[in-house]
Structure 1
Amino acid sequence: MDIIISNSSNDPIYEQIASQIKSLIFNGELSEGEPLPSIRSLSKELKISVITTKKAYEKLENEGFIDTVPGKGSYIAGQNKEILRENRIKVIEEKLTEAVEASKLVNLPLEDLKDILEIIYNNQ
């Protein structure tokens, strides 16, 4: 499992870890029941605090992506990928709604907003 931490990212490290693990799940690179590295081993591998790694795992568990068994480790949770995808789409819709509202405040035309979205999408 390759996780890359970016010091130039605005996202906290635990968010970067959680986001990358979610991507691996959505892409099918991590499957139901597959074990994750222990919190200690991942923190050692990434050269970060155990607390930061624990926070990432807690976030993933709270969102239903992983299950943690005390004394045994953390595993990819059994889940319906379609439900997870729908939840992510809902979050995207909420963020896009915020962007639309902000663009209306400054009278940004829809075409300009679409252009901005396309540029951002193509540069990610």
Structure 2
Amino acid sequence: MKIIIKNSSEQPLYQQIKDQIKGGILRQELKEGEKLPSIRSLANDLHVSVLTTKRVYDELEKEGFIVTTVGKGSFVASENLEMLSESKRHMIEKKLSEVWQMSKTLGINKEELYLMMDIIFAEDDE
């Protein structure tokens, strides 16, 4: 899995890295039990601080996406389908909330937004 960091992004570096690893797990590009690069190795590859990658791994472990074994490394956690499903829903809800806020700022009401979504869905069905 390739991680791309954008210096122009409003997101902090650790969040960009974390989101991309989490996304790789959710899309199953990173498989259950797969070994992740060491904290130091990932930091060197991305040219970021070891503290940054340590924070990423710590947060991913707290959220249940990875497990770390002292002396062996960090691995993609066993699939918890409920957790993965909830995480996917949360990501969609976050994006939809951003779209709704932008719509209100641009003066687009719910009905117009629903219509736009219907058009997108119809195009996707073709």
Q: When the two structures are superposed, what TM-score results if normalisation uses the length of structure 1?
A: 0.76
Q: 1:58 maps to which residue?
A: 58
Distance in 1, matches of 2:5 and 2:106, equals 35
1:99 CA drift (Å): 6.2
Q: What secondary structure sits across from 1:32 in the alignment? A: coil
RMSD: 2.9
Residue 33 of structure 1 contacts residue 77 of structure 1 at CA under 8 Å; is this kept in 2? Answer: yes
Report the residue type matching 2:24 in the other structure.
L
1:20 CA drift (Å): 0.7
Residue 25 of structure 1 contacts residue 31 of structure 1 at CA under 8 Å; is this kept in 2? Answer: yes
Residues 48 and 104 of structure 1: CA distance in aligned 2, closer, same or farther (over 3 Å): closer
Instruction: Give unmatched runs, 5+ long, in structure 2.
Output: 121-126
Residues 8 and 99 of structure 1: CA distance in aligned 2, closer, same or farther (over 3 Å): same
| Identical positions, percent | 51
1:18 CA drift (Å): 0.9
Greater shift after overlay, 56-65 or 86-95? 86-95
Q: 2:48 maps to which residue?
A: 48
The alignment of Structure 1 onto Structure 2 pairs a total of residues equal to 118
1:68 CA drift (Å): 0.7
Q: 1:122 maps to which residue?
A: none
1:103 CA drift (Å): 6.1
Q: 1:14 maps to which residue?
A: 14
Distance in 2, matches of 1:95 and 1:4, equals 20
Instruction: Give unmatched runs, 5+ long, in structure 1.
Output: 120-124
Residues 47 and 107 of structure 1: CA distance in aligned 2, closer, same or farther (over 3 Å): closer
Report the residue type matching 2:41 in the other structure.
S
